[in-house]
Structure 1
Amino acid sequence: MTKNTEILCIGSVLWDVIGRSASHMRQGSDVPGRITRLPGGVAMNIAMTLVRFGMKPTLLTAIGRDPEGDELVHSCAMLGMVTEHIYRSDDLPTDRYMAVEGANGLIAAIADAHSLEAAGAKILRPLVQGPLGSEGAPYDGPIALDGNLTMGLLEEIAQSPAFARADLRVAPASPGKAERLLPFLQHGRATLYVNLEEAGLLCQREFGDSESAAQALMDRGALRVLVTDGGNSATEANAEGVLNRMPPPVLVTRVTGAGDTFMAAHIAAESRGAEREEALTRALHAAATYVSGETPL
């Protein structure tokens, strides 16, 4: 590694457009609420939480050279992130995510990460060709990676010498992209952060609890996994065994970004030397606080 950085966040950085209502919703509902636009994306959500825990993340992503992109990059810098290695495209627009949430949780969401997918390996140039690392001098710090990259690029990352020494932490971005994480099961290189549904998609079966899901992922070749299940128990599993803990009960006011908060809080806890049980407990408390609405968006 030729340039020090505390943690890399690789993946989607975009604008979140989220409509929230206090009403119970179903398909076709038309209800009053609030619509917000704020920086989002899995990599961005993780980075924002890491900043709150005192870390300084470096973003590797694709953002357009449009007014929305300029505003987004400026927002990232103002939040305390390193933006100098972001790939800026003249041809690709800045990505967006749109979601609708009601009192009964997430109703629907659409992630438009086409520009990130189209940029492909260009976002990794600082890791492969310097200044952050290369195949001959691999980056040796923590990396938070999301599944909004293409399956081919994730397969390349799972095998690339440029990632061989990194502490790689991976999240699927959404259940619809969970199967993109299969290369990390096959090559056993990363810590995976998934929810119960995503674990089931990776294993092609249904699970009734996080513990059985975590064990199944380990049996399929995972190096280490953390499986969450909403307000039910969460499980961390590695070669040393299985750890299962309950999150604190809270009133849920929002859900978008909860998994990213859990992952970032867990990474931050371990970066400060927390042992397995303490790190899992801190992550569960951070996620519970987030969904209760007690932390800033």
Structure 2
Amino acid sequence: MIPGDCLAGATECAPGLARSAPLGHKSGMNETPDILCIGSVLWDVIGRSNGHMRQGSDMPGRITRLPGGVALNIAMTFARFGLKPGLLSAVGQDPEGDELMEACAQLGCDTRHLYRSEDLPTDRYMAVEGANGLIAAIADAHSLERAGSRILRPLSDGTLGSAETPYPGPVALDGNLTETLLDEIARDPCFAAADLRIAPASPGKAERLLPFLRAHRGVLYVNLEEAGILCQAPFDSAPQAAAKLVERGAARAVVTNGGEAACDASAEGLIAERPPEVLVTRVTGAGDTFMAAHIVAELRGAGRAEALSLALDAAAAYVSGDIAS
């Protein structure tokens, strides 16, 4: 067990992943973040219905707007676990961007290093969810893509690191960046000392992670569909997919498969475990919660098997509604 208090903002503690003190950094605006989260920081617009839905369904429900994006979802989970995450992304100087900056700060995220664009609007994500899961979603992350390498300047200009003194800490990276930029990151000396943890933003962007297979770098967090896209082959199980990703060049792969067994694969071998059975009340953000919980567990000394188990428990608590958004 990881000692500490209950998760901030949660109705219950995520099993085994309670809040504790930041990892070696004193509080204060001049201190380096505990972990960097690079990728999409935007507004999530989510419509949820308690009924089963299909194409063309018109159902009663609730529509909410929440701070979101893969990088921010991961960062918010880190903050709940007592870490101080730093964000590297693009946020517009429009009213939506100002509101998002304030919301991120209130959620415990370090926004000092965000790129604020004068001419690019703040990105958005829209999804529709039913009792039977995600029905459809559209991610408008075009501003992040157009900002490109400008969001990474703090890692090269000496603010957080440089090519000569690369940033040495953990980095959570999402696939909303372009494949060109992700390819540069995989080979960039500014990231040479970083503990890279990478996830696609969606199955449609899974192929953007191919540079990390070629570079044999980082830990890939993917679901079964995304693993199939990266390997250009269908899989029946997470262990099968994770083993194939390592065979194709991944230094390490963590593959999830909904309510079926998840798997952590590396040159050391395979570790698989089924998630707890829970009533699913939401799905958007579940993968991000899993990834963040897994990283936190390992940062606090958990072995591979324990980290996988703790991450599955945290994701189950999230989709059941036991952990607040």
TM-score with structure 1 setting the length: 0.99
Give the letter for the 1:204 counterpart.
Q
User: Can you give the 5+ residue segments of structure 2 that lack an aligned partner in the other structure?
Assistant: 1-29
Match of 1:223 in 2: 251
1:55 and 2:83 are equivalent in the alignment: yes
| Aligned with residue 301 of structure 2, among 273, 286, 290 | 273
Aligned match of 1:155 in 183, 186, 190? 183
CA distance in 2, matches of 1:4, 1:119: 23
Q: Report what 1:72 is aligned to.
A: 100
Cα drift, residue 129 of structure 1 = 1.2
**SS state at 1:9 partner:** strand
Correspondence for 1:186 among 214, 222, 225: 214
SS of equivalent to 2:128:
strand
Partner secondary structure for residue 129 of structure 2: strand
Amino acid at match of 1:218: V
The answer to whether structure 1 residue 283 and structure 2 residue 287 are counterparts is no
Q: CA deviation at 1:238?
A: 1.0
SS in 1 for 2:109: coil
SS of 2:108 mapped into structure 1: coil
What are the residue-to-residue correspondences of 1:135-154 with 2, within 5 Å? Answer: 135-154=163-182
Give the match for residue 18 of structure 1: 46
| Structure 1 position 4, deviation (Å) | 2.9
Aligned mates of 1:3, 1:40 — CA distance in 2: 24
* 1:101-250 paired onto structure 2 within 5 Å: 101-250=129-278
**Residue 13 of structure 1, CA deviation:** 0.3
The one-letter code of the counterpart of 1:245 is: E
| Partner residue in 1 for 2:20 | none
Question: How many residues are treated as equivalent by the alignment?
Answer: 296
What's 1:6 paired with?
34
Letter in 1 for 2:287: G
1:48 is paired with a residue of what secondary structure?
A: helix
2:122 to 87, 91, 94: 94
Distance 1:5 1:261 in 2: 19
- Equivalence for 2:292: 264
Q: Which amino acid aligns with 2:151?
A: I
SS in 2 for 1:133: coil
| Residues 197-229 of structure 1 deviation map (CA, whole Å, 9 limit, x = unaligned) | 000000001000000000000000000010000
Residues 228-256 of structure 1 deviation map (CA, whole Å, 9 limit, x = unaligned): 00000000011111000110000111100
3-state SS of 2:168 partner: coil
**CA deviation after TM superposition for structure 1 residue 128, in Å:** 1.1
CA contact (8 A) 1:3 1:131 kept: no
Partner SS, residue 172 of structure 2: strand
Instruction: Indicate the SS of the match to 1:111.
Output: strand
Cα distance in 2 for partners of 1:4, 1:98 equals 33
Q: Which amino acid aligns with 1:60?
A: L
**Cα distance, 1:3 vs. partner?**
6.2
Q: 1:108-137 deviations in whole A, cap 9, x for unaligned?
A: 000000000000000000001121000010
Mapped pair 1:82 → 2:110? yes
Q: Runs of 4 or more off by more than 2 Å in structure 1? A: 2-5
User: Identity rate of aligned residues, in percent?
Assistant: 70
Q: Partner residue of 2:15? A: none
Alignment map for 1:41-52 (pairs within 5 Å): 41-52=69-80
Amino acid at match of 1:268: V
RMSD of aligned Cα (Å): 0.9
Partner Cα separation in structure 2 for residue 239 and residue 52 of structure 1 = 32
Deviation at 1:5, TM superposition (A): 2.4
Pairwise CA distance, 1:294: 1.1
Structure 1: gaps spanning 5 or more residues: none
